[in-house]
Protein backbone atom coordinates (compact mmCIF):
# COMPACT_ATOMS: atom_id res chain seq x y z
CA UNK A 1 0.00 0.00 0.00
CA UNK A 2 1.17 3.55 -0.70
CA UNK A 3 1.82 5.69 2.42
CA UNK A 4 -0.70 8.35 1.40
CA UNK A 5 -3.61 5.89 1.44
CA UNK A 6 -3.43 6.19 5.25
CA UNK A 7 -4.91 9.68 4.76
CA UNK A 8 -7.78 8.59 2.49
CA UNK A 9 -10.72 8.79 2.09
CA UNK A 10 -10.54 12.55 1.88
CA UNK A 11 -12.66 15.32 0.38
CA UNK A 12 -12.31 15.59 -3.36
CA UNK A 13 -12.89 18.84 -5.22
CA UNK A 14 -12.54 20.34 -8.68
CA UNK A 15 -9.80 22.93 -9.10
CA UNK A 16 -10.55 25.66 -11.64
CA UNK A 17 -7.75 27.55 -13.37
CA UNK A 18 -7.33 30.12 -16.11
CA UNK A 19 -8.97 33.45 -16.74
CA UNK A 20 -12.56 33.96 -17.89
CA UNK A 21 -11.85 37.26 -19.68
CA UNK A 22 -8.97 35.71 -21.61
CA UNK A 23 -11.12 32.70 -22.54
CA UNK A 24 -8.68 30.23 -20.98
CA UNK A 25 -10.53 27.86 -18.64
CA UNK A 26 -9.65 24.46 -17.22
CA UNK A 27 -10.72 22.12 -14.41
CA UNK A 28 -9.08 19.14 -12.71
CA UNK A 29 -9.98 16.78 -9.86
CA UNK A 30 -8.05 17.13 -6.61
CA UNK A 31 -8.10 15.24 -3.33
CA UNK A 32 -4.80 16.47 -1.90
CA UNK A 33 -6.27 19.73 -0.66
CA UNK A 34 -6.48 21.25 2.83
CA UNK A 35 -7.34 24.42 4.76
CA UNK A 36 -4.09 26.10 5.94
CA UNK A 37 -4.80 29.19 8.06
CA UNK A 38 -7.61 31.41 9.29
CA UNK A 39 -6.00 34.82 10.08
CA UNK A 40 -4.97 34.83 6.47
CA UNK A 41 -7.80 32.66 5.11
CA UNK A 42 -5.87 30.14 3.08
CA UNK A 43 -6.09 26.74 1.45
CA UNK A 44 -3.41 24.65 -0.23
CA UNK A 45 -3.32 21.79 -2.70
CA UNK A 46 -0.76 19.63 -4.43
CA UNK A 47 -0.58 20.05 -8.21
CA UNK A 48 1.55 17.82 -10.41
CA UNK A 49 3.88 19.91 -12.56
CA UNK A 50 2.81 17.96 -15.66
CA UNK A 51 -0.80 19.12 -15.40
CA UNK A 52 -2.26 21.84 -17.62
CA UNK A 53 -3.68 23.28 -14.38
CA UNK A 54 -0.09 23.96 -13.30
CA UNK A 55 0.60 25.85 -16.55
CA UNK A 56 -2.48 28.04 -16.09
CA UNK A 57 -1.87 28.73 -12.39
CA UNK A 58 1.73 29.69 -13.15
CA UNK A 59 0.37 32.16 -15.73
CA UNK A 60 -2.55 33.73 -13.82
CA UNK A 61 -1.68 33.04 -10.14
CA UNK A 62 -5.28 32.22 -9.28
CA UNK A 63 -7.29 29.05 -8.74
CA UNK A 64 -10.82 28.16 -7.69
CA UNK A 65 -12.01 25.30 -5.50
CA UNK A 66 -15.36 23.85 -6.56
CA UNK A 67 -17.12 21.37 -4.29
CA UNK A 68 -19.66 19.19 -6.04
CA UNK A 69 -21.27 15.82 -5.36
CA UNK A 70 -21.02 15.01 -9.10
CA UNK A 71 -18.41 12.23 -8.95
CA UNK A 72 -18.90 11.49 -12.66
CA UNK A 73 -17.74 15.00 -13.50
CA UNK A 74 -14.91 14.72 -10.96
CA UNK A 75 -13.76 11.54 -12.68
CA UNK A 76 -14.00 13.07 -16.17
CA UNK A 77 -11.97 16.20 -15.33
CA UNK A 78 -9.56 14.03 -13.32
CA UNK A 79 -8.77 11.64 -16.17
CA UNK A 80 -8.40 14.03 -19.11
CA UNK A 81 -5.99 16.90 -19.67
CA UNK A 82 -6.71 20.44 -20.75
CA UNK A 83 -3.61 20.05 -22.92
CA UNK A 84 -5.67 17.78 -25.18
CA UNK A 85 -9.34 18.61 -24.65
CA UNK A 86 -11.47 21.62 -23.89
CA UNK A 87 -13.16 20.16 -20.80
CA UNK A 88 -15.78 22.92 -20.62
CA UNK A 89 -17.30 22.10 -24.02
CA UNK A 90 -16.55 18.36 -23.96
CA UNK A 91 -18.21 17.80 -20.56
CA UNK A 92 -20.73 20.63 -20.91
CA UNK A 93 -19.55 22.38 -17.74
CA UNK A 94 -21.55 25.50 -16.86
CA UNK A 95 -19.12 28.15 -15.70
CA UNK A 96 -19.45 31.55 -14.07
CA UNK A 97 -17.24 34.44 -13.04
CA UNK A 98 -16.45 34.80 -9.36
CA UNK A 99 -17.00 37.91 -7.25
CA UNK A 100 -13.36 38.76 -6.56
CA UNK A 101 -11.12 37.20 -9.21
CA UNK A 102 -11.16 36.24 -12.90
CA UNK A 103 -10.66 32.53 -12.28
CA UNK A 104 -13.62 30.40 -13.50
CA UNK A 105 -16.09 28.78 -11.12
CA UNK A 106 -18.55 25.94 -11.79
CA UNK A 107 -22.23 26.83 -11.46
CA UNK A 108 -24.57 25.09 -9.00
CA UNK A 109 -21.98 23.59 -6.69
CA UNK A 110 -22.18 22.94 -2.94
CA UNK A 111 -19.51 25.60 -2.46
CA UNK A 112 -16.78 27.48 -4.25
CA UNK A 113 -13.71 29.46 -3.21
CA UNK A 114 -11.72 31.99 -5.21
CA UNK A 115 -8.02 31.94 -4.31
CA UNK A 116 -5.04 34.13 -5.12
CA UNK A 117 -1.70 32.30 -4.99
CA UNK A 118 0.49 33.58 -2.13
CA UNK A 119 3.07 30.75 -1.86
CA UNK A 120 4.38 27.95 -4.05
CA UNK A 121 6.31 25.08 -2.51
CA UNK A 122 8.03 22.66 -4.86
CA UNK A 123 8.26 19.08 -3.56
CA UNK A 124 9.28 16.31 -5.95
CA UNK A 125 6.84 16.13 -8.85
CA UNK A 126 4.37 18.61 -7.39
CA UNK A 127 3.96 22.27 -6.56
CA UNK A 128 1.95 22.84 -3.39
CA UNK A 129 -0.02 25.99 -4.14
CA UNK A 130 -1.20 28.04 -1.20
CA UNK A 131 -3.96 30.46 -2.05
CA UNK A 132 -5.53 33.25 -0.04
CA UNK A 133 -9.31 32.90 -0.15
CA UNK A 134 -10.55 36.20 -1.60
CA UNK A 135 -14.22 35.23 -1.78
CA UNK A 136 -16.29 32.12 -1.12
CA UNK A 137 -19.87 30.93 -1.13
CA UNK A 138 -21.61 27.79 0.07
CA UNK A 139 -25.08 26.33 -0.10
CA UNK A 140 -27.15 25.56 2.96
CA UNK A 141 -24.79 25.36 5.94
CA UNK A 142 -24.62 26.02 9.70
CA UNK A 143 -21.69 26.45 12.12
CA UNK A 144 -20.67 22.82 11.53
CA UNK A 145 -20.62 23.14 7.75
CA UNK A 146 -23.02 21.72 5.21
CA UNK A 147 -26.35 20.74 6.69
CA UNK A 148 -26.48 17.97 4.09
CA UNK A 149 -22.89 16.95 4.89
CA UNK A 150 -23.36 13.55 3.26
CA UNK A 151 -23.29 15.22 -0.16
CA UNK A 152 -19.56 15.98 0.13
CA UNK A 153 -17.70 13.27 -1.83
CA UNK A 154 -14.64 11.58 -0.39
CA UNK A 155 -12.03 9.94 -2.60
CA UNK A 156 -10.90 6.53 -1.47
CA UNK A 157 -8.54 5.79 -4.36
CA UNK A 158 -8.76 5.01 -8.07
CA UNK A 159 -12.42 4.79 -9.07
CA UNK A 160 -13.61 4.33 -5.47
CA UNK A 161 -15.51 7.16 -3.78
CA UNK A 162 -17.49 7.25 -0.56
CA UNK A 163 -19.94 9.59 1.13
CA UNK A 164 -20.15 9.88 4.93
CA UNK A 165 -23.43 8.81 6.45
CA UNK A 166 -23.16 9.25 10.22
CA UNK A 167 -22.85 12.34 12.38
CA UNK A 168 -21.68 12.30 16.03
CA UNK A 169 -21.70 15.18 18.47
CA UNK A 170 -19.52 14.88 21.60
CA UNK A 171 -21.26 15.95 24.84
CA UNK A 172 -20.74 19.61 25.86
C1 LIG B 1 -10.31 11.58 -7.75
C2 LIG B 1 -9.06 12.24 -8.28
C3 LIG B 1 -8.26 12.99 -7.44
C4 LIG B 1 -7.10 13.63 -7.93
N5 LIG B 1 -6.31 14.38 -7.09
C6 LIG B 1 -5.23 15.02 -7.59
C7 LIG B 1 -4.45 15.87 -6.75
O8 LIG B 1 -4.73 16.05 -5.55
N9 LIG B 1 -3.37 16.50 -7.30
C10 LIG B 1 -3.03 16.35 -8.62
O11 LIG B 1 -2.04 16.96 -9.07
N12 LIG B 1 -3.76 15.56 -9.45
C13 LIG B 1 -4.86 14.91 -8.96
N14 LIG B 1 -5.62 14.12 -9.79
C15 LIG B 1 -5.22 13.98 -11.19
C16 LIG B 1 -5.65 15.15 -12.09
O17 LIG B 1 -6.98 15.56 -11.80
C18 LIG B 1 -5.56 14.66 -13.55
O19 LIG B 1 -4.24 14.26 -13.86
C20 LIG B 1 -6.06 15.68 -14.56
O21 LIG B 1 -6.17 15.00 -15.80
C22 LIG B 1 -5.15 16.90 -14.73
O23 LIG B 1 -5.80 17.73 -15.66
P24 LIG B 1 -5.09 18.96 -16.41
O25 LIG B 1 -3.90 18.43 -17.17
O26 LIG B 1 -6.17 19.47 -17.31
O27 LIG B 1 -4.70 19.93 -15.36
C28 LIG B 1 -6.76 13.48 -9.30
C29 LIG B 1 -7.57 12.71 -10.15
C30 LIG B 1 -8.71 12.10 -9.66
C31 LIG B 1 -9.57 11.28 -10.58
Q: The domain spanning residue 19 has which CATH number? A: 2.30.110.10
Q: Are 14 and 74 a contacting pair, CB within 8 Å?
A: yes
- Separation of 156 CA from ligand 1 center, angstroms? 14
DSSP classification of residue 76: H
Rounded CA-CA distance 105/114 in Å is: 8
| Residue 170 CA to ligand 1 centre (angstroms) | 35
Would 53 be classed as within a structural domain?
yes
Confidence category of residue 172, pLDDT binned at 50, 70, 90: confident
Who lines ligand 1 at CB under 6 A?
A: 12, 26, 28-32, 46-48, 51-53, 74-75, 78-83, 155
- The edge-to-edge listing of strands for the beta sheet with 153-157 is 10-11, 153-157, 160-163
**Which atom of ligand 1 is least distant from the CA of 78?**
17
Please check whether residue 168 lies inside any domain of the structure.
no
- pLDDT digits 0-9 by tens, 106-152: 999 999 999 999 999 999 999 999 999 999 999 889 988 899 989 99
Q: How many structural domains is the chain composed of?
A: 1
Inside any domain, residue 64: yes
- Quote the domain boundaries for residue 85: 3-163
* Cα separation, 169 vs 172, whole angstroms: 9
Q: For 61-97, what is each residue's pLDDT tens digit?
A: 999 999 999 999 999 999 999 999 999 999 999 999 9
CB 43 within 8 A of CB 11: no
**Is 55 inside a domain boundary?**
yes
Give the list of residues 6+ apart from residue 1 with CB closer than 8 angstroms, or none.
none
Inside any domain, residue 54: yes
H helix or E strand, kind and range, residue 144: none
Residue 19 within a domain: yes
pTM over 0.85: yes
In a domain, 171, yes or no: no
Residue 144: inside a domain: yes
Amino acid sequence: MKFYRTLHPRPVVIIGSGNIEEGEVNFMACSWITPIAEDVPAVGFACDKEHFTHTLIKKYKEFSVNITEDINLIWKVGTSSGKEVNKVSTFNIKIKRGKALSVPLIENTLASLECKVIREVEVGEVVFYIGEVKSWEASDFDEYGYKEFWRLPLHKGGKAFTFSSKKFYLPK
